Amino acid sequence: MSKNSKRPALFIDRDGTINRDCPYCHEVSDLFIYEDAVTLIRDYAERGFLIIVVTNQSGVGRGLFTVQDLEKFNTAMKEKIRELGGRIDDIYYCPHLPESGCSCRKPATGMIMQAVSDHDIDLSRSVVAGDRDDIDGELARRLGIPFILVRH
């Protein structure tokens, strides 16, 4: 196997980046996808990047919605993005409370490290995209990779 078989990834935030943010979004009826996010996803997919969503979902830990609600919302988002000509390869979420001290809640790097292992990703050629410099941008800085600040 070639050393170059590893693929880079676009690690992309969900709420406020792909879909319009509503506090603790989980109802499929509230799903609104930004078309410029789909354009970004499509551009990277066409260049051979895996498209990996990484999202903090403390609403689970707070008891505001269930993992089933979250997965239903994620499935609807994936289907809608596909309809719009994009693609999502995988979704990672942190369900924990901010004060839990877990290793997955962004800007901690746990979800990225799990994805790198699961998908044999070339981290050095990967990028992070998101709407929050203090969360997604900080994640990128901790990883030493570029950050794309998404503004709608």
18 in contact with Mg ion (CB under 5 A): no
> In 10 A of CB 127, how many CB atoms?
17
| Cα–Cα dist 75/81, whole Å | 10
69 in contact with Mg ion (CB under 5 A): no
Which of Mg ion, Zn ion, none does residue 105 bind to, with CB < 5 to 8 Å depending on kind?
Answer: Zn ion
Residue whose structure tokens are 């693929």? 7
- Interaction pattern, residues 87-126, with Mg ion; x per rule: CB under 5 A: ----------------------------------------
- Coil/strand/helix, residue 143: helix
| Cα–Cα dist 134/98, whole Å | 14
94 in contact with Zn ion (CB under 5 A): yes
User: DSSP E strands: which ranges in 16-106?
Assistant: 50-56, 90-94
CB-based contact 37:84 (threshold 8 Å) = no
Give me the least distance between CB of 81 and Zn ion, in Å please: 24
The residue among 13 and 69 lying less far from Mg ion, judged by its C-beta, is 13
Which of Zn ion, Mg ion, none does residue 15 bind to, with CB < 5 to 8 Å depending on kind?
Answer: Mg ion
Interface residue list for Zn ion (CB under 5 A): 94, 96, 102, 104-105
